Amino acid sequence: MTGRSTDRGVDVTSPSVATAIGEALGAGVVSMRPVHGGDLWAGNRLVDRTGRSWLVDPAAHGGHREFDLAMMRLFGGFGTAAFDAYDAAFPLADGWENRVSLHQLAPLVVHAVKFGGSYRGATVAAVAGLR
């Protein structure tokens, strides 16, 4: 994958994309937490006999808590109730849904490089969504 894409005319090296990323990053900075799941999807969620959920996540790291939500949306397995509960426990910053594609960029690029296929198009779409 190169820095440019002719599929949809998206140039990820353009100043407008860099500006959009900078603006998006500044929008929810107060929503930081020390550690979050780095690979949060249903396959890394185990449910015990009592119905309690456990996360098994070898990619946990520090960063913005909205990253968790972006991963949950990217790979699925979580319903509306999970997002509502997340917001009820620690209200999300206004516009968090507009930053989902920003937080999905790094994992999408990794998956595009490793697996190709639809991840390349999803990466281009995520970049285009920053405009």
Q: 7, 39, 57, 68: which is the annotated catalytic residue?
A: 39
Pairing outcome for strands 32-36 and 45-47: unpaired
Report how far residue 67's alpha carbon sits from residue 80's, in angstroms, rounded to the nearest whole number: 17
**Residue 39 annotated to the active site:** yes
Report CA-CA distances (Å) from 1 to 20, 36, 126.
21, 28, 14
Provide the annotated active-site residues: 39
